[in-house]
Amino acid sequence: MTKPPRPGDTDGRSITRRGLMLAGIQLGVVTTLALKLRSMQVEQAEQYRMLADGNSIKIRLLVPARGLIHDRNGIVIAGNEQNYRVTLAREEAGGDVEPVLRRLARLIPISDARMAELLDEFAKRSAVTPIVLADRLTWEQFSSIAVNAPSLAGVTPESGLSRVYPRAGDLAHVLGYVGPVSDYDLSKIEDPDPVLMLPEFQLGKVGFEARMEDVLRGKAGQRRVEVNSAGREMRQLSRQEGDQGATVQMTIDAQLQNYAAQRMGTESAAAVVMDCQTGDIVTICSSPSFDPNKFVRGISSSDYKALMNHDHRPLADKTVQGVYPPGSTFKMVTLMAGLEAGVINAGTRFYCPGHTEVGGRRFHCWRRGGHGSVDAVTSLSHSCDVYYYELAQKVGIDRIAAMARRLGLGQRHDLPMSAVAEGIAPDRAWKQARHGQSWQVGDSLNASIGQGYVLASPLQLAVMTARIATGLEIRPRLVRAIDGVAQPVPEFPDMGLNPAFLRVARLGMDEVMNSASGTARRSRIIREGWRMAGKTGTSQVRNITAAERARGVVSNDQLPWNRRDHALFVCYAPYEAPRYAVSVVVEHGGGGSAVAAPVARDILLFALNGGLPPLDAVPDDQRAAMKERHDAMHLFAPEAPRLTRA
């Protein structure tokens, strides 16, 4: 579409005059640039040429020491160690690196595969980028290379610091690890710090190390060096060290973490211990684990494959990434929703014949024979499913979901860790948005006992337990102090739940452990003042088919491992003055009371005792087994060697 032709300049719409003025201004600028170029390149060329030829001082950056990470008691859980290595830039080897590498291979072992890898790397990177040829050399190897330097053109022996994790696998998931900067890392950072280009720089890759990168990195130092015309360093003129990154103290207790890891052993499991007063995450442990030091040093592909192919998924952080149907541990949520909504009170009873019929479908209680008449407290202590089926129909899913969110489920608790999951607290709107289907009453029944669409991470379950135990809106945290400056503990607001209703839920959890017919009575604590309250959960990971039901209940032991139920347990203690909340999930472990509860109880005891659980705190028939377990453990000494500030 063209506009009708316009009359000439007279109406002021033409830009000819101003366009010409603009052209004049631009020409003026270009002329200025040209004149400046002429003065520099033609008139003063000689001076600049002399400066260029004498230009032999270069600035090289020094990698700053990475900040240390301490546990809450000052034990170093991420430190730095001395590392000897050799680097080479293709240009400094005169362009052809292979003969240099062959000569080097006579001094230190370089496998043929490694040789091929290095040559490939040299071909890919620019000629001036130094590449690490060998790492973690012994002092003997290092000095033999230094002595033979004349025959190894361009090979530069260097000593620097490298990250080390003294507690190996214990804290692997929460800390994450560092590694060399990859091209992919750089592509994600706009205008990266030049220190990232140095071959020995280590960048936080995952977990706490990655999320706290800015705090831990520090500031690069500088070195002025004189180089010869080939670019080879002749001598150092000055050296200004950088600033080490900040020392970060975490809320983790490394000893408790260590015990939790040992207690879970080879199970595929997760445990979280939270301080009910401060929200401090005292332990956050995923099992099985891996050695992060292997990643720092460059993990071999066979080791990596073994980790990837392990059916217990050691690389996954089950504490915050893993989400599970919470099973019966969710019942406190449903109960609180019912009490707060006023559809029941503590004395309201439902009759449990072992099942209930809704919409022509039969929903079973875990106990086939039924529980008979059940009230609020016994519904928890006996974990009666039918009670919750009845309650769910009265209270409705939206109020249950709202209560779940108030208690910390279905929301992301932003800890400085990788891939913290949000979980799911399903309601009508969620199902419509996610599945495009309307909510069915059967969905409510499943959700009421923590099955169906409900998903929660062990972290969220610990937060939920702490919130029930205190009535306060506790939020978790991982950082206790940075460079000695304590992070303030926030004043947690009251959740606004009726204290009488909270007492009902707590009493139910108390009876789970301490009443004669409680589902987790075997795992109770018998020491005065440490009385423990808890809730078991067993969540199905498969649907029981009608055919299976007809054949009778299939025992977990007869199923393949990955189809068995998840065992869950949440608890806190002391009952009267809550100090720690604990959640434990054992993937495909079987029953919550038999498998998860003893683990949670032992971890809780360690936390309360500040050391190995005292045998007299558990019922006497379990003491021998506990003693045997302790003897078999390989625990770090309580006073682990502290690394000096390197």
Partner 1 sequence: MSYLDYKVAQTPTGIRKILHLNWPLVFLIAAVASIGFLMLVSVAGGRVDTWAEPQMYRFAAGMVIMIALAFVPMWFWRGISVPAYVCCFLLLIAVELVGTIGMGAQRWIDIGPIRLQPSELMKIALVLLLAAYYDWLPARRVSRPLWVLIPVVLILAPTGLVLIQPDLGTSIMLVAGGGIVMFAAGVSLWYFGVVIAAAVGLVVAVLESRGTDWQLLKDYQFRRIDTFLDPTADPLGAGYNIIQSQIALGSGGWSGRGFMQGTQSRLNFLPEKHTDFIFTVLAEEFGFVGAMSLLALYTLIIGFCLYSALTNRDRFAALITVGISGTFFLYFSINMATVMGLLPAKGSPLPLVSYGGTSLMILMLGFGLVQAAHVHRPR
**Taking CB under 8 A as the rule, does residue 235 contact partner 1?**
no
Q: State the minimum distance, in angstroms, from the CB of residue 258 to partner 1.
A: 35
The number of helices, as runs of H, and strands, as runs of E, in the chain is 23, 21
Calpha distance 164→81 (Å, rounded):
6
CB of 51 to partner 1, least distance (A): 5
57 binds partner 1 per the rule CB under 8 A: yes
Bridge partners of 580?
275, 573
Contact in structure between 350 and 343 (CB atoms under 8 Å): no
H or E element at residue 523: none
38 binding partner 1? (CB under 8 A) = yes
Please report how close the Cβ of residue 212 comes to partner 1 at its closest, in angstroms: 14
Q: Residue 637: CA atoms inside 13 Å, Cβ hemisphere, count?
A: 4
Instruction: Tell me: does residue 13 bind partner 1 (CB under 8 A).
Output: yes
| List 51, 116, 119, 633, residue binding partner 1 (CB under 8 A) | 51
What values do phi and psi take at 9, rounded to 5? -65, -15
Neighbour-count burial for 577-615, b at 16+ CB within 10 Å, e otherwise: ebebbbbbbbbbbbbbbbbbbbbbbbbbbbbbeeebbee
Options 29-37, 75-83, 309-317, 517-525: segment touching partner 1 (CB under 8 A): 29-37
Strand 479-482, strand 248-250: pairing: antiparallel
| Closer by beta carbon to partner 1, 41 or else 82 | 41
Q: Please report, as residue ranges, which positions from 109 to 128 form the binding site for partner 1 (by CB under 8 A).
A: 126-128
Token duo for residue 383: 């974990």
Distances (CA, A) of 503 to 198, 214, 337, 461: 59, 44, 14, 19
Pick 128 or 308: Cβ nearer partner 1: 128
Which region, judged by CB under 8 A, interacts with partner 1, from 22-30, 314-322, 366-374, 544-552? 22-30
Q: Does 434 interact with partner 1 (rule: CB under 8 A)?
A: no
Beta bridge partners of 132: 87
Whole-number minimum distance, CB 304 to partner 1, in Å? 26
Residues contacting partner 1: total by CB under 8 A: 60
Question: For partner 1, what does the binding mask look like between residues 166 and 195, x meaning CB under 8 A?
Answer: -----------------------xxxxxx-
Which is closer to partner 1, CB of 58 or CB of 542?
58
Q: Considering the rule CB under 8 A, would residue 412 count as an interface residue with partner 1?
A: no
Contact 369, 354 (CB under 8 A): yes
Q: Is 433 in the site for partner 1 (CB under 8 A)?
A: no
For partner 1, which stretch binds (CB under 8 A), given 37-45, 318-326, 426-434, 600-608?
37-45
CB of 45 or CB of 147, closer to partner 1: 45
Dist CA 533 CA 597 (whole Å): 11
**Per CB under 8 A, does 224 bind partner 1?**
yes
Site membership for partner 1, residue 47 (CB under 8 A): yes
Given a contact cutoff of 8 angstroms between Cβ atoms, the answer to whether 535 and 332 are in contact is yes
The answer to the question of residue 234 lying near partner 1 (CB under 8 A) is no
The CA distances from residue 250 to 77, 273, 293, in Å, are 9, 14, 19
Binding site for partner 1 (CB under 8 A): 1-6, 11-23, 26-27, 29-30, 32-34, 36-38, 40-42, 44-45, 47-49, 51-53, 55, 57-59, 90-91, 126-128, 189-194, 222, 224, 227, 229, 231
